[in-house]
Amino acid sequence: MPVGDSQTIGSAGEHTWRHRLWQHLRDTCGSPFTLVGPRETLYDKATGAATSYEYADPDFPRAHLAGWGEGWLHMAPLIGEAVRTHRADVLLVSLGLIDLGFYTNPEQTADNVRAFVAEARAARPTVRMAILPVVPNIRAESEPDFGAQVTRFNELLAKAVADLDEPRSPLLLTSPPPSYDITLDTYDGTHPNASGEHKIAEAFAEALWQGWGIGGEYVPECGS
């Protein structure tokens, strides 16, 4: 189950990193799998709401739990029911930027990470989670104070993952996407373009492969 904010839900007509990762797992995963979640829409910039079904690939399993402008604060109360209803085995989580930008400080955001993990495990005690740190973005580069908050939160996120990891329900903190550059890998300094989608997908793919033997080595050119 992909869980995330605007970088995960994507906009009408985009592939999204979810699609890039699905292509990779489709080609490398040795057993059947699918993406699950309570939502299927993309964000429609014309309407300002998550109302679009204009996916670039009609065969792509569209399910997710992601929302434009939603963060750990919003997903923690939703994740238990989503995991329970859709029987998610693995959560792929990319959250934090929107929290720090509008809602909570690093410490409060880290508290919501812990609440999220607790709710997910209450619904499915063996659920596994791969979690992406907040990736480089234009606000963090242009506003030193905000950049410091992002750095602080990523430190607290790493600590939370280490503290909460357990054999029955393992947690993985993915490495930052390789050589992620907001000039080359985003279309507006925040949201990933095709190159950025591949790099975020690769971060999750490498965590799944190295941590749990799911999939294989990521080939960025696949499905470009």
Mean pLDDT by 10 residues, the chain (224 residues): 96 88 93 95 90 85 96 98 98 98 98 98 98 97 97 98 98 92 96 95 96 92 50
Q: What is the dihedral of CA 37, 43, 48, 52, to 10 degrees?
A: -90
**Contact by Cβ (8 Å): 80, 126:** no
| Per-residue confidence (pLDDT) for residue 30, from 0 to 100 | 83
How many Å separate Cα 47 from the centre of its chain?
24
CA distances from 144 to 150, 151, 158, 173, 223 (A): 10, 10, 21, 25, 37
CA angle 201, 9, 72 (to 5 degrees): 90
pLDDT on residue 27: 93
Q: Give dist(CA 149, CA 30) in Å, integer.
A: 40
pLDDT at 192: 95
Kindly report the length of the chain.
224
- DSSP 3-state of 93: strand
Angle at which helix 194-212 crosses helix 16-28, to 10 degrees, equals 40
Q: How many CA atoms lie within 13 A of 133 on its CB side?
A: 22
Please list the residues that pair with 94 across neighbouring strands.
Answer: 4, 132
pLDDT at 223: 42
pLDDT of residue 178: 81
Q: What is the reported pTM?
A: 0.95
